[in-house]
Structure 1
Amino acid sequence: MTRILVLYYSSYGHVRALAKAEAQGALSVPGTTVDLRRVPETVPEEIRRSAGYVDDETPEAAPGDLARYNGFLFGTPTRFGMMASQMKQFLDQAGGLWAQNALVGKVAGVFASTGSQHGGHEATLLSTQIPLQHFGMLIAGLPYSFSGQTSRDGIIGGAPYGAGTIAGADGTLSPTATDLAGAQFQGAHVADLAARLAKAPSLREVA
């Protein structure tokens, strides 16, 4: 079995909706198991309440869990063109796996939610990929074989760098059908690549 982890942080539910679609897509690949997890919250509860953050009962992951998976899909809201600090803190705690080369050669994709089309959407997708490459992961985006990303029907998220959605400046927009279809496509794409890599000969050992 190919094991896929869909790991996300979501404040208002937009990224969580994409994460569920990513998981559905990954599950559509035969021989795949998928775990949907979130990173731990770092914002105090009273601030969460006052800011209107949504509750989320999805189980949390721990950095050490990453070693058990063949592929990953990381979801984050945009924070000034970068991933949310909660996701960055989680990855920062995985230094032990980096030191062991435990994640080298595993495939990963990124998806994101942004307040506006020009609010750092693509920058977030790209900048989130940087630490993943330090871990030695192979990055899979959202290829143009998903034709929905070239649609001109309304505001849609996503890019060749990963699936996404535009939440609106006040967060009132929901992921469109195209956004969710893109997330499902990416989930299946990563799961398929992870399955192929899992069957391939081992990568070169450390020189």
Structure 2
Amino acid sequence: MTVKVYIVYYSMLGHVERLAQEIKTGADSVPGVESQLWQVPETLSTEELEALRAPPKSDVPIITRNELRDADGFVFGFPTRFGMMAAQFQAFLDSIGLLWDEEDQFLEGKPAGMFFSTGCQGGGQETTALTAIPQLVNHGLLFVPILYTLGAGISGMFEIEEVRGGSPFGSGTYAGTDGKRNPTEIELRQAFHQGKCIAAISKKLKRDPQNYLHNIARRW
């Protein structure tokens, strides 16, 4: 039995994509789990992206709503815009709203985590998570935070000696106001840990599909 975890993200300057790569590595480290990277469609024009000094997109494939059917778990990533998810990712979630009308409602009960990139410490990493959770709720997904499971001390979630993105809501990084800061070792370690967490939970749920929220609700 193979468990599929999809890491679906929008990245403009590359910071979210770097975290996505590390989350994939973490997910793939769990036996029986295969993960895949997906990007959501861009909504800005080439001219607008050039004006924002965004690098060319990578060759990671663009996801459509039909591909979501195949996943057993998700991790969604996006930069913040004024304390909320970037409009590009919001537009993608808006576009799959028709899945509510489908009889099987295949997103129900599947686990989903989130990760983020902000320009600075006051950029809204936690408010972005809080305002994104309703998106998961309305699609029937189960929000899976990483809590404080990475551990305490200088190597974990209680690190205060250096600037560190992320929180119990999900892994994260700071891009810097000029976009030139790269994810640090501790931020990448947090992303790897998140990948392992979501993979393990997805595997546990698929092992006993009767425990999927969708199936439980049908028995009420």
TM class by shorter-chain length? over 0.9
State the alpha-carbon separation in 2 of the partners of residues 150 and 64 from structure 1: 40
Aligned to 2:16: 15
Aligned to 2:32: 31
State the alpha-carbon separation in 2 of the partners of residues 83 and 180 from structure 1: 20
State the alpha-carbon separation in 1 of the partners of residues 96 and 38 from structure 2: 16
How far apart are 1:104 and its partner, in Å?
Answer: 0.7
Aligned to 2:216: 204
State the alpha-carbon separation in 2 of the partners of residues 67 and 135 from structure 1: 13
Q: Secondary structure at the match of 1:175?
A: coil
Aligned to 1:170: 178
State the alpha-carbon separation in 2 of the partners of residues 165 and 201 from structure 1: 34
Corresponding letter in the other structure for 1:199: R
1:140 is the counterpart of 2:144: yes
Contact 1:23 1:36 in 2 (8 A): yes
Corresponding letter in the other structure for 1:83: M
State the alpha-carbon separation in 2 of the partners of residues 122 and 72 from structure 1: 19
Q: Secondary structure at the match of 2:84?
A: coil
Aligned to 2:43: 42
Q: Give 5+ residue unaligned stretches, structure 1.
A: none
Q: Secondary structure at the match of 1:110?
A: strand
Pairing 1:17-166 to 2, within 5 Å after superposition? 17-56=18-57, 57-100=59-102, 101-147=105-151, 148-166=156-174
| Aligned residues between the structures | 207
Corresponding letter in the other structure for 2:73: G
How far apart are 1:35 and its partner, in Å?
Answer: 0.9
Q: Secondary structure at the match of 2:51?
A: helix
Contact 1:149 1:156 in 2 (8 A): no
1:144-196 deviations in whole A, cap 9, x for unaligned? 12022211231000011010001111111111111111011001100100000
Corresponding letter in the other structure for 2:95: Q
How far apart are 1:36 and its partner, in Å?
Answer: 0.4
State the alpha-carbon separation in 2 of the partners of residues 46 and 61 from structure 1: 23
How far apart are 1:45 and its partner, in Å?
Answer: 0.2
Q: Give 5+ residue unaligned stretches, structure 2.
A: none
State the alpha-carbon separation in 2 of the partners of residues 87 and 40 from structure 1: 8
When normalised by structure 2's length, the TM-score is 0.90
Corresponding letter in the other structure for 2:25: Q
State the alpha-carbon separation in 1 of the partners of residues 208 and 133 from structure 2: 23
Question: Stretches of 4+ moved more than 6 A in 1?
Answer: none
Contact 1:7 1:39 in 2 (8 A): yes
State the alpha-carbon separation in 2 of the partners of residues 151 and 99 from structure 1: 45
State the alpha-carbon separation in 2 of the partners of residues 178 and 188 from structure 1: 15
- Cα separation, partners in 2 of 1:79 and 1:32, compared to 1, 3 Å: same
- Cα separation, partners in 2 of 1:205 and 1:121, compared to 1, 3 Å: closer
Identity %: 39
How far apart are 1:205 and its partner, in Å?
Answer: 4.3
Contact 1:4 1:33 in 2 (8 A): yes
How far apart are 1:96 and its partner, in Å?
Answer: 2.6
Contact 1:9 1:76 in 2 (8 A): yes
